Amino acid sequence: MTKGFLKLISCGFIRKHTVLGKKTKDALYQLTDFYTLFHFQFLQKKRDEHYWTIQTDTPVRNTWCGLAFERVCFEHVNEIKYGLGISGVLTEVHSWFTKADKSSGIKGAQIDMVIVRNDRIINLCEMKYSISEYSYTGKDDESLRNKIAALKTVCKTRYSFHPVLVTTYGLKEGLYSGRIQAVIRMDDLFYRL
């Protein structure tokens, strides 16, 4: 790793994510500077000067909002832990992914944030940007079950899993919403009582 790269990590432009169950050398690196991300997505290319303002409710802008929201969540891990009532519990925070492996029956899976707790519980935090309350669907539930199964198989853990939704405006009551054990809203990331 070059000195320049290490300096970018130390000053917060790049974040190093350790991946649960993998060695340090397999860490993921993520650009975290919000303005740089915005610049690359919307300003770098020669476009109309009003390009950003006409992107309301487009896939490009919604994707960017989702990625930016995920980065905000990683900047507020302590507030997420506080909202979960686990501020005093020793934890490790990771990201996690696995590729599909048909021979062992593992489907590819990715979890935004994994909080491994010293009390043998793993909080699986899914970050979902939404312009209103998030509707947790059957497709979301199937995806979550796949992620839990893959994580159990790959990491060979016997910890309990607590699904957590970190979202902008909360969770809409629905058929599958009871599967989520805790909801952290955007306000929780910025306001502690």
In a domain, 88, yes or no: yes
In a domain, 97, yes or no: yes
CA-to-CA distance for 67 and 77, rounded, in angstroms?
16
- Name which residue leads in pLDDT, 64 or 116: 116
114-118 long-range contacts, CB within 8 A, separation 24+: 114/20, 114/151, 115/77, 115/80, 115/81, 115/84, 115/86, 115/91, 115/164, 116/20, 116/91, 116/92, 116/159, 117/86, 117/89, 117/90, 117/91, 117/159, 118/89, 118/90, 118/91
Counted domains in the chain? 1
pLDDT bucket at 93, cuts 50 / 70 / 90: very high
In a domain, 153, yes or no: yes
CATH code of the domain containing 98 = 3.40.1350.10
In a domain, 80, yes or no: yes
Q: pTM to 2 decimals?
A: 0.82
In a domain, 115, yes or no: yes
In a domain, 155, yes or no: yes
Residue 71 pLDDT > 70, yes or no? yes
pLDDT at position 51, please?
72
pLDDT tens by residue, 72-85: 999 999 999 999 99
Q: Which residue range is the domain that position 113 belongs to?
A: 76-190
On whether the CB atoms of residues 135 and 174 are closer than 8 A, the answer is yes
In a domain, 43, yes or no: no
In a domain, 81, yes or no: yes
pLDDT at position 148, please?
93
